[in-house]
Homo-oligomer: A and B are copies of this chain.
């Protein structure tokens, strides 16, 4: 026999036979975790999940190109539904925002090229650039407490560094700031530099169209903001970039090189598709999300916390300085974990365990009543230890 004979017996795995008991407890809790609030599945996605769970399930009727599959309607989703939603001419599905970012950088730039990014960029932007061996030029933000990005500051950087690409994070994941993406589109067009909008926290939450902002690429995340299982994402682009970013293999003419043939061959893609009608609908209610976030921010400031990032705030991602919680953490047995535990006891999920100096939340998934309960809980915890 030519297959590998084990020099030692195969170890019997000590993994728990079931993982389920580990997660179910927080089903039904109020979820304010920034990473998770936009990725909670719709009922339609939950159904699709069990139907398409088996490996290679979307490939039942594939004839060689993922984006040509008609059952399930991947072709329709990628070619007809996503482009008008993203305001782009050509769309593709990806494993996630970071993977879309790498596809763009890897196609357009070569090692040694530079890329200008905003000072609030996600870490994956830097890592994708590092994987492509690009020099990252980081623009400034305005610093504490608003950390604003002034896109006009890209101009001197563009003139000095002649970048191959510019990237804007819209909004950033730390403060939920929304810089003037449209103005940066004008700057990008003026200098003729391809402009990538990292909209992982925008696409699927709020109205955002690449064409309206003058971007060349728009990047979205299924698991972050499109009510989808992970890993999943979307990438939109101008038609002029299709030949480069979605170039076909020389050896295998129907396979896209940057997709390694195909990307989302499985359940995350069908959850993305199954949730899409509701995601499209919820985007239309963005104004309500913004007012909910502003209300929540005001309530927390009444408790003595300070909201970081832009004010008035225009996104559900919110960061607060919470020095009173930090003071408590120094004198209680659970140290920094007391806050996480207090909230979990109250049915509130999503604060980073151990974190008390600043708290980062999303008001996206919770309704006003639930958020009022969160505010009351913060007040009660302050009172309990105060």
Contact between B264 and A231, CB atoms less than 8 A apart: yes
- A190 at interface by CB-CB < 8 Å: no
- A291 at interface by CB-CB < 8 Å: no
- A274 at interface by CB-CB < 8 Å: yes
| A267 in contact with B314 given A3-B207, A55-B223 (CB within 8 Å) | no
Name the residue of chain B whose CB is nearest to the CB of A290: B1
Per-residue CB contact flags for chain A residues 1-38 toward chain B (1 = under 8 Å, else 0) read 11111111011111111111011101000000101101
A197-231: which residues lie under 8 A (CB-CB) from chain B?
A: 202, 206-213, 221-224, 226-231
Q: How far is the CA of A267 from the CA of B35 in the complex (A)?
A: 15
Name the residue of chain B whose CB is nearest to the CB of A131: B257
- A261 at interface by CB-CB < 8 Å: yes
Q: How many residues of A contact B (CB 8 A)?
A: 123
Q: Which of B49, B76, B96 contacts A14 (CB 8 A)?
A: B76
Q: How far is the CA of A314 from the CA of B39 in the complex (A)?
A: 44
- Please give the count of copies of this chain that the complex contains: 2
- A139 at interface by CB-CB < 8 Å: no
- A56 at interface by CB-CB < 8 Å: yes
- A182 at interface by CB-CB < 8 Å: yes
Name the residue of chain B whose CB is nearest to the CB of A52: B23
- A181 at interface by CB-CB < 8 Å: yes
| A55 in contact with B230 given A17-B44, A130-B251, A273-B19 (CB within 8 Å) | yes
Q: How far is the CA of A33 from the CA of B276 in the complex (A)?
A: 29
- A243 at interface by CB-CB < 8 Å: no
Per-residue CB contact flags for chain A residues 82-112 toward chain B (1 = under 8 Å, else 0) read 0011010000000110110010001000000
Q: How far is the CA of A38 from the CA of B209 in the complex (A)?
A: 41
Contacts of A238 in B (CB 8 A): none
Contact between B36 and A56, CB atoms less than 8 A apart: yes
Contact between A4 and B224, CB atoms less than 8 A apart: no
Give min CB distance, A6 to chain B, whole Å.
6
Per-residue CB contact flags for chain A residues 249-278 toward chain B (1 = under 8 Å, else 0) read 111100101101101111110110110110
Q: How far is the CA of A230 from the CA of B230 in the complex (A)?
A: 10
A-B contact sample (8 more), CB < 8 A, given A55-B221, A131-B260 = A6-B207, A17-B277, A19-B52, A39-B54, A45-B53, A49-B50, A123-B261, A126-B252
Q: Which chain A residues have a beta carbon within 8 Å of chain B's beta carbons?
A: 1-8, 10-20, 22-24, 26, 33, 35-36, 38-41, 44-57, 59-61, 71-73, 76-77, 80-81, 84-85, 87, 95-96, 98-99, 102, 106, 123-124, 126-128, 130-131, 136, 178-182, 202, 206-213, 221-224, 226-232, 249-252, 255, 257-258, 260-261, 263-268, 270-271, 273-274, 276-277, 280, 283-284, 286, 314, 353
